[in-house]
Structure 1
C-alpha cells in the first residue's frame, strides 16, 4: 500500500498527503533547503513556525563535513540538527557535477576531489544510498547524473541511460523500512521521447515516488513548462511527484497546475540573505533607497514576525549596515511567504478553485509591475 494519498484534484493539480517515518507531509509542499544540517539564518523552531513540514538535506555537503558516519553517531540528521519532522536528502549527484573538481564519470560512479580539502572521493549509487541511510533520511533520492543544458539528444540519452542503470543499483542498495521512501529521478533533458523512456524505466523498477530532474538549469520557464506539460503524464497517478530545485513562486504555481506535488529551492533563503523579500505583489529589494523612510511593513497581508513588528525602513537600515538580524528576519519572511503560497494552493485545489487562485496570483503581481521595475 502506498503511503501517498490523493485527497483532491483540480485539473492536473493534486492535493495529497505523504506519510513518512517522521510525520505527514501535506502536498503540494515546499521544502526549505538545509544544505549542511541547517536552514541558513533560521532556528529549527523558526522554520517550523513558517509552516514547513519537511526539509531537504544535502548528501554531498554532509558526506564531506561532518561525515555521514559522524551524523549517524549522533542518532541521525533529525537529532543532529534538532528537526523532528521529515527530511528528504538529495543524492549528491548534482553537487558533484557542479562543485567538485577533476571529476571522472564511469559506469561505477563518479570520482572527484572535494571542494573543501581536495581529498579524492568515489561516489557510487551504493555509497550514496548508504550515506542517506546513515543520515536517516525519510526520503532518499537515487544517485543520478544531472544532464547538462544545453545537451544534444545523443548526449541527453547517454546521460539518462547511465542514470537509469544507477537507479536500478540504488533500488537494490536501499534498505526498505516502514515510512522510508526511495524516489527515482526522471532525466532526459528537454526531449519528450527520452523523458518517456526514463519514466518507463523507473516505473518498471518501482519507486515510492518520482522526481523530475534536469530542469531549472538554464532552459528558461517556457521550456521548463513545455517539458512539464507532458512528463508528469508518464508517471503513476498514485505516487508523489517532485520537481527538483524549483523555484520562483511563479514557477511553483505553474508546476502545481501541471501535476507536481513537491518542490525545493534555495531561492527564499538565499534571497533573504541578500536583502530580497518575496511578497504577494512581487519582490522587493530592501537595499533600495526608496525604503529608507517607509514606515510600513514589507507586506501588510503577511503575519510573519518580520511584517508584524518591523518597518521597511528598518530593514533597509539593517541591510545597509550589514547587521545579521536583517538576513535572519528576511529569510523568515520569505519562507513564511512560500509556505503561505503552498497553503493557498492546497486550499484552492481542495475547493476546486485553482484557476481562480492562479489568475489572482498573476493579477496581484501584474498590479505592481511598475513598482518591481523601479525596484
Structure 2
C-alpha cells in the first residue's frame, strides 16, 4: 500500500495559510483539518455515525498510553486493530503517549532507555521506550503514528530543555529503526510523524525543526506548545516552526486549541489540529458558536427558544433550542453532554472547512480577522 500523500491545492497571498489534501489508505483528509480526540478509541459522548453525519469528521485520534492500558494490545490485535474494534473506517491518528507520561509527573522516571510510570488505573508500573511505543502503535493500527518524545513543560530552563530535546531526537532515531524492522500487521501503511520540541527557546526550536526535517518523514508535528505558555508565545513559536519545517509536508500543531487559536495557527501555516476543548468545555456548558462563546448554564438562556446555532449546517445545532439544552444541563441529563459535544465538534469542523474555502477563494486573511473578533465575543 502507498505511504501518506500530501497535495497543496492553494496558498494564501496574505498569510502562510494553505489548503491541501492528505491521502491515507483509509481515505482522504481535506486540510486545514480539526481532528476530534477519541482518547480510548471513543470521542466522548459521541458515536461514530454522529461523527460522520452531523460532525463531518474526517479523521479521529486515539491515544497509545490509554489504549495500551485498556483494552490492551491483545484485544486490539484480536479485533484486527482499532479501526475494526471501534467501527471507524476513516483515518485514525495515535498520539504516542508522551504527553500523558509528561502529565504523570509524580510517578514517572525518565531515562535514556525510556520512561517508567505508574498506571492511573491500578498503580502498576510500566516502561515506555521508543521501541515499545512503536510496537503498541503497530498493534493499534492507526494510519498516522507519533514518535515517542518528552514534552517539556513551560518554564523549563534552557539546559534541561536542550538535553530533553536531544534525547527526543535520539528516541526518534530509535522509533524509525523499530518501524523499519517491523510491518503493519493489518496490511496497510502506517506513517510516522516526528515531533518538534525545544520549548520557547528560538535556537532550540530551530535546531529541532532542522533535525526533524532531515528525517524526510511524510509529515511533521509541533509539540511542546499549549502547555501553559502565553498566547503570544504560542503564535511566535508556531510561526517559527512553520518557517523551518518542509513546505511540502503536512504540519500538525498538537493540542491546540480555541477556535481563534486554530484560525491563527492556520494563518501561520499549520494544516492539522486536535484538542479536547470542544468536548470537555461542551460537557461543562461552554458552547462555541458562529456569534461567540455561550455559557449555556446562564439564566439568560432559560426562555431562549431559538436554535443553539443556526449559523451553520448541523442538525443538532439547528434543531434543539438554547432553552432546552440549558434545561438538560441543569437537570444533569446525559443527553446534554451528547448535544453539547456534537455541537462544538461540528462547529470546529465547520470552522476549518470555512477556512479552507476562504483560502481557495483568496480572502482568507480578511475573513479570519473578522471571525476572530466574533469568536472571542462572550454572549
TM-score by length of 2: 0.94
2:8 is aligned to 6
Match of 1:38 among 27, 42, 50: 42
1:183 is aligned to 193
2:243 is aligned to 233
Bigger mean CA deviation after superposition, 259-268 or 151-160: 151-160
1:320 is aligned to 330
2:85 is aligned to 80
> What is the number of equivalent residue pairs in this alignment?
369
Q: 1:122 to 1:26 in 2, by over 3 A?
A: same
Q: 1:176 to 1:188 in 2, by over 3 A?
A: farther
Q: 1:129 to 1:48 in 2, by over 3 A?
A: same
Map 1:127-142 to 2 at 5 A.
Answer: 127-142=132-147
Deviation at 1:307, TM superposition (A): 2.4
Map 1:1-375 to 2 at 5 A.
Answer: 3-10=5-12, 11-49=15-53, 50-99=55-104, 101-174=106-179, 175=182, 179-365=189-375, 369=377, 372=378
Q: 1:100 touches 1:114 (CA, 8 Å); kept in 2?
A: no
Deviation at 1:176, TM superposition (A): 6.3
CA distance in 1 between partners of 2:105 and 2:240 (Å): 33
CA distance in 1 between partners of 2:373 and 2:118 (Å): 48
Bigger mean CA deviation after superposition, 226-235 or 116-125: 226-235
Q: 1:101 touches 1:115 (CA, 8 Å); kept in 2?
A: no
Q: 1:23 to 1:155 in 2, by over 3 A?
A: same
CA distance in 2 between partners of 1:103 and 1:359 (Å): 42
Q: 2:308 touches 2:318 (CA, 8 Å); kept in 1?
A: no
Deviation at 1:100, TM superposition (A): 6.5
Q: 2:102 touches 2:152 (CA, 8 Å); kept in 1?
A: no
Deviation at 1:291, TM superposition (A): 0.7
Q: 2:143 touches 2:191 (CA, 8 Å); kept in 1?
A: yes
Bigger mean CA deviation after superposition, 179-188 or 137-146: 179-188
Bigger mean CA deviation after superposition, 33-42 or 303-312: 303-312
Q: 2:45 touches 2:341 (CA, 8 Å); kept in 1?
A: yes
Deviation at 1:362, TM superposition (A): 2.5
Deviation at 1:101, TM superposition (A): 4.4
Q: 2:4 touches 2:191 (CA, 8 Å); kept in 1?
A: no
Deviation at 1:365, TM superposition (A): 3.6
- Flag structure 2 segments of 5+ consecutive residues without an equivalent: none
CA distance in 2 between partners of 1:5 and 1:301 (Å): 30
